[in-house]
Amino acid sequence: MDQIDKHIGRRAFIRNTGLAGGGLIIGFSWLNSCKPKNISTEQALEMPKEWFEINAYIKIGDNGVATIFCPNPEFGQGVMTAMPMIVAEELDISWKDVLVKQAPFNTELYERQFTGGSQGIRRSWEGLRMAGATAKQMLKQAAAEAWQVPVSGITVSDGVLSHEATGKTAGFGEMAAAASNMEVPENVETKAVKDFKIVSHSKKNVEGKQIVTGEPMFGLDYQYEGTLIAMVEHPPAFGLKLKSFDDSEVRNMPGIVDVFQINTYDDNFVRNFFDTNAFPDLVAIVGKTTWEVMNAKKKLKAEWEPITEKKLTFDRFGSISEVTVPSGLESTKKHDELMEKMASQPGEIARKDGDPESAFKNAAKVLERSYSCPFLAHNCMEPMNFFAHVTEEGIKLAGPSQAPSIIESTLASRLDVPAEKIEIEMTRMGGGFGRRAYGHYAIEAALISKQAKAPIKLVYSREDDMTFGIYRPSYQATYRAALDENNNLIAFHVKSGGVPESPLFANRFPAGAVDNYLAEQWVINSNITIGAFRAPRSNFTAGVEQAFLDEVAEAAGKDPIDFRLELLKRVKENPVGEENDYDPDRIAGVLKLVKEKSNWAQTPPGVHRGVSAYFCHNSYAAHVVDVVMDGDQPRVEKVTCAIDCGIVINPDAASLMAEGAIVDGIGNAMYGNMSFTDGKPDHSNFDTYKMIRQNEAPKEIEVHFVQNEIDPTGLGEPPFPPVFGALANALYKATGRRFTKQPFSTDKPPLVG
């Protein structure tokens, strides 16, 4: 058994006596405000008469039913199910007796209520286990006292406490009241992996029933009496700002209540990490219904003027940095020219091993290939929105956010109110993909509510959402490889950059596998705002690096999987450098598993296959993509995927996550594209921004997990980036052409003649 010291996540286990009266919970406003739901099984559980709070994660009812609170916000990654599963496992309760609820946002009670970076499960694993294990210990303690027996003799299974020697048994419900008054134990034991009964055993989405019946769950569905609808008008192009507006036509339109300007933050405001925002000056239109406000917005006349170059200060979790925002109206054509120019010049050296210059000079063969990708819009299906009610007494917010703590901190400083006066309710998010870490829309909602003196729900139209920025950056990379006369890889060179961020990971594979290695980077400043997009930087780097390695393997006359395995063996036995940030065994592990499961040695006739493997966000993923030709059109028939993310909490949901990442990867590799003309986004809705659809998804996806007992790591991001590479490699086999410019659907050979 593992001993876990109690300091992990300690705050969560110290009972919040302010909330519980003698262990009995009364008057939780966030509980009373919603009717009992979130039922994890098809049948409704019988509700207990009394609930007893054991800690911030667990309440147990007098009938033995437990409510487990999921601390992190849910955006489709499955934490609402997975996190409570971990708690329930250590609590040793039967899953059918568990209700799941979203925890309130409360930095006193919970740590890291943040969704992003694929870190939810990894960072909470021990804390969640402790929440369950300490609660179980308190129940055992309560039983020991009731039965006057030593606690060591008490065993627990499926929510039943037993003492073998005396034959006494009791359900959790009978001991809950006493347990809730127990001292929180200092040290407790957690289960051995082999004894898991809930973790690693697939459980259905606890909110599945609500989703398929259309219950209100999302921010856009949020209801509050007297709520008005607000929309904002932002500049039509990056590099512009609001000069003036004329609302004369708008004010008298039906349902319109108010029109005014808001300033989300001025240029001197010290911004938090996720306070990226190209358009702080906005016109807000407030009215009674969404349709009326949408119509009024079309009639608003605004004048815009160019921005001047400015410097903004960001406080990135304590480290202060200055960011220069250039003026001007940027275009994709210009970006591409600039990127080409930067790529032809020396970059800033991020890592250098050996003597790459000489190695390239003396090589028997040198390969070189350049790659690029456009900006991407996140396009969460639920457009950005937030509810706000700002009064003298305090601020109530509700909506979809990956990072409520940032909203709280920014709003506290923007409105100069103490954080305690800000209450944020986390609603289920209709997708996030990084976009909802950037909470400007919640700040906007609060400012509008304050000025309108009313509860409001800020709603972005699809067009507002797609043209507000925070995009995946546009990147470029040039790779070179040198082979000796025996086809050994003797030198490797990557130079990459982007607008306005470099995608380089200097210490990732194949760094460490090549004696002579050079990694360089560059950036081009821009006023188009960018942000985290499912596996930031990796979502480009993985694809192009894995496509290039494919080409190198081919030039070396080697099988692409064997070629990678040879290099990984080299890293394991005799690594170059000390900074390599991946485990070569685990990359090799997923490659071997995908090789076996895809039956790599026997490619079916008519099938063209590409492979890739990548490490990011602490997890490892490899894919084999099978492409077939339908006339002259390639089609993805099947994807076989192997993942090593340690212990898999909820295997079927984990597969679903990987399936989604694969479909998303194919979609963005093939079609994803946000371009600009004179600062204006060229696409603002799904009529021209092409998203992958049902008939373009692979026919089959197989997901396999490496079985081990390593502490779990994340899954939202890791299976996504390598898809781009495996697809490019399969397309090469199918068409004989290397696809280097994303999106691949428009990467056509130049027309001849």
Helix (H) or strand (E) holding 136: helix 120-147
Asked if residue 687 binds other proteins (CB under 8 A), the reply is yes
User: Which segments of 362-506 does DSSP mark as H helices, in order?
Assistant: 404-415, 440-452, 462-467
Q: In the set 381, 599, 606, 710, which binds other proteins (CB under 8 A)?
A: 381
- Residue 76, interface with ligand FES (CB under 6 A)? yes
Of how many residues is the chain composed? 753
Nearer to other proteins, 171 or 383 (CB): 383
Asked if 716 interacts with ligand FES (CB under 6 A), we say no
Q: How far apart are CA 504 and CA 599, in angstroms?
A: 33
Q: Is 204 in the site for other proteins (CB under 8 A)?
A: yes
Among 670, 706, 726, 730, binds other proteins (CB under 8 A): 670
Residues whose CB falls within 8 Å of the CB of residue 592, separated by 6 or more in sequence, listed in order: 565
Q: Which is nearer to ligand FES, 381 or 419 (CB)?
A: 381
255 or 328: CB nearest other proteins: 255
* Closest distance of CB 430 from other proteins, Å: 3
In the chain, the N- to C-terminal Cα span, in Å, equals 73
Interactions with ligand FES, residue window 422-461 (CB under 6 A) = 431
Q: How many CB atoms lie within 10 A of CB 218?
A: 18
Residue given tokens 């007796």 in the structure block? 97
CA 665 to CA 610: how far, in whole Å?
Answer: 14
In whole angstroms, give the CA distance from residue 291 to residue 205: 33
CB of 703 to ligand FES, least distance (A): 17
Q: What are phi and psi of 679, to 5 degrees?
A: 80, -10
Nearer Cβ to other proteins (382/717): 382
CA angle, 403 then 406 then 407, to 5°: 90
CB closer to other proteins, 180 vs 539: 539
Residues 296-355 close enough to bind other proteins by CB under 8 A: none
Q: How far is CA 654 from CA 79, 179, 291, 349, 717, in A?
A: 11, 34, 39, 38, 12
Binding residues among 396-435 for other proteins as defined by CB under 8 A: 428-433
Site for other proteins in 70-89 (CB under 8 A): 75-78
Rounded Cα distance between 233 and 218, Å, is 23
CB 547 within 8 A of CB 744: no
Is 685 a binding residue for ligand FES by CB under 6 A? The answer is no
C-alpha torsion angle, residues 587, 589, 591, 593 (rounded to 10): -150
* Residue 616 partner contact from other proteins, ligand FES, none using kind-dependent CB cut-offs of 5 to 8 Å: none
Distance of closest approach, residue 213 Cβ to other proteins, in angstroms: 4
Cβ contact 717:534 at 8 Å: yes
Cα(723)–Cα(700) distance, integer angstroms: 14
CB 481 within 8 A of CB 548: yes
How far apart, in Å, are the Cα atoms of 357 and each of 28, 369, 493, 508, 549? 67, 17, 10, 21, 20
The pairing of strands 310-316 and 676-677 is: unpaired
Alpha carbon distance 22, 619 (integer Å): 44
Please, which of residues 541-580 interact with other proteins by CB under 8 A? none
User: Which of ligand FES, other proteins, none interacts with 78 (beta carbon under 5 to 8 A by kind)?
Assistant: other proteins
Residue 695 binds which one of ligand FES, other proteins, none, with CB within 5 to 8 A depending on kind? other proteins
CB of 250 to other proteins, least distance (A): 13
Is there binding between residue 209 and other proteins (CB under 8 A)? yes
Q: Angle CA(234)–CA(237)–CA(241) in degrees, nearest 5? A: 55
Q: Does 40 bind other proteins (CB under 8 A)?
A: no
Residues 688-717 as b/e (b if ≥16 CB within 10 A, e otherwise) read ebbebeeebbbeebbbbbbeeeeebbbbbb
Instruction: Report the SS3 class of residue 675.
Output: coil
Q: Which does 700 bind (CB under 5 to 8 A by kind): other proteins, ligand FES, none?
A: other proteins
Pick the binder of other proteins from 96, 310, 453, 693 (CB under 8 A).
693
Q: At what angle do helices 120-147 and 172-179 cross, to 10 degrees?
A: 90
The site partner of 185 among other proteins, ligand FES, none (C-beta below 5 to 8 Å per kind) is none
Report the run of H or E that residue 592 belongs to, with start and end. Answer: helix 584-597
Q: Using CB under 8 A, which of 133, 380, 388, 530 touches other proteins?
A: 380
Regarding 233 and contact with other proteins (CB under 8 A), the answer is: no
How big is the site for other proteins, counted in residues (CB under 8 A)? 80
**Shortest distance in whole angstroms from residue 71 CB to ligand FES:** 22
Closer of 50 and 292 to other proteins (Cβ): 292
Amino acid residing at 648: V
Asked if 657 touches other proteins (CB under 8 A), the answer is: yes
Binding residues among 622-641 for other proteins as defined by CB under 8 A: 630-631, 633-636
The one of ligand FES, other proteins, none whose footprint includes residue 223, by CB under 5 to 8 A per kind, is: other proteins
Tell the smallest beta-carbon distance from residue 160 to other proteins (Å): 29
CA–CA separation, 600 vs 611, rounded Å? 9
Question: According to the binding rule CB under 8 A, does residue 215 interact with other proteins?
Answer: yes
Residue among 270, 381, 419, 710 that touches ligand FES (CB under 6 A): 381
Give, as ranges, the residues between 732 and 751 that touch other proteins (CB under 8 A). Answer: 745-746
Tokens 């950037």 belong to residue: 438
* Shortest CB 525 distance to other proteins, Å: 30
Residue of the chain from 6, 690, 738, 741 that contacts other proteins (CB under 8 A) = 690
**With contacts defined by CB under 6 A, how many residues of the chain interact with ligand FES?**
3
User: Which span (117-125, 204-212, 345-353, 535-543) binds other proteins, by CB under 8 A?
Assistant: 204-212
Q: How far is the CB of 169 from ligand FES (least distance, A)?
A: 43
Provide the β-strand partners of residue 286.
Answer: 230, 258
Considering beta carbons, is residue 123 or 428 the nearer one to ligand FES? 428
d(CA 395, CA 34): 19
Rounded-to-integer distance, Cα 203 and Cα 459, Å: 34
DSSP secondary structure letter of residue 471 = B
**Residue 253 touches other proteins, criterion: CB under 8 A:** yes
Binding of other proteins at residue 212 (CB under 8 A)?
yes
Among 21, 36, 216, 394, binds other proteins (CB under 8 A): 216
For residue 667, state whether it binds ligand FES (rule: CB under 6 A). Answer: no
Contact status: 662 vs other proteins (CB under 8 A):
yes
Indicate whether 476 belongs to the interface with other proteins (CB under 8 A).
Answer: no
Q: Of ligand FES, other proteins, none, which one does residue 322 interact with (CB within 5 to 8 Å by kind)?
A: none
Residue 95, classified by CB atoms within 10 Å of its CB into exposed (0-12), middle (13-18) or buried (19+), is buried
> Contact between 210 and ligand FES (CB under 6 A)?
no
At 400, list the tokens.
């979809």
Contact flag: residue 44 with other proteins (CB under 8 A): no
Contact flag: residue 36 with other proteins (CB under 8 A): no
Question: How far, in Å, CA of 719 to CA of 622, rounded?
Answer: 8
Candidate list 225, 601, 694, 752; residue touching other proteins; CB under 8 A: 694
Site for ligand FES in 543-582 (CB under 6 A): none
Binding site for ligand FES (CB under 6 A): 76, 381, 431
